[in-house]
Amino acid sequence: MKKTYQDAGGSTERLVAKPVASSVVLQVAGVPVDEGDFTLDETTGILTFKPAATPANSAVIRAGFRFDVPVRFDTDRIEIDLDAFKAGRIPSIPLIEIAP
C-alpha cells in the first residue's frame, strides 16, 4: 500500500510498511470490499485479494488506513529540566525514521 501527500508544490508517495490491520477499509471502483475478500501482511503492507475477489487490472482501488512509523532516538542523551514548575520538561526528542 502507499500514501500520497499532495499540496500546491506537487505530490510525494510513501510506501506503507506497517499498516494497522484493524483500520484498513478498501473500495474497488467505489464499491466497499468485504474484509474477508483480502489478506494483509502487517509487516510489509502487502495486500492480497482472494482469487474470487480479484479486481480487474484497470479497476481503481482506494484504501483508508492508519499506519505505524518505526523510529529510533537520534541521540544518546536527553536533556530534562525538572526545575520548571516542579514538573518534568523535555524540550525536544530527536527521532530518525527507520526505513523498511
Q: Quote the pLDDT of residue 81.
A: 67
Task: State residue 82's pLDDT score.
Answer: 66
In whole angstroms, how far apart are CA 16 and each of 8, 38, 75? 23, 17, 26
User: What pLDDT, on a 0 to 100 scale, did the predictor assign at position 25?
Assistant: 95
Count of structural domains within the chain: 1
Per-residue pLDDT at 99: 82
Burial 40-54 (b: 16+ CB within 10 A, else e): beeeebebeeeeeee
Q: How far apart are CA 41 and CA 31, in angstroms?
A: 22
User: What's the rounded Cα separation, in Å, for the pair 52 and 72?
Assistant: 41
Q: Is the whole model's pTM more than 0.75, yes or no?
A: no
Give the pLDDT score at 44: 87
Q: Which residues of the chain have pLDDT under 50?
A: none
Encode pLDDT of 30-58 as tens digits.
999 999 999 999 988 899 999 999 999 99
> What is the per-residue pLDDT for 66?
95
Predicted confidence at residue 38, as pLDDT, reads 96
H-helix segments, the chain: none
* pLDDT at residue 62, as a whole number: 94
Per the structure, the complete domain to which residue 90 belongs is given by 2-97
Cell 530534562, located at residue: 80
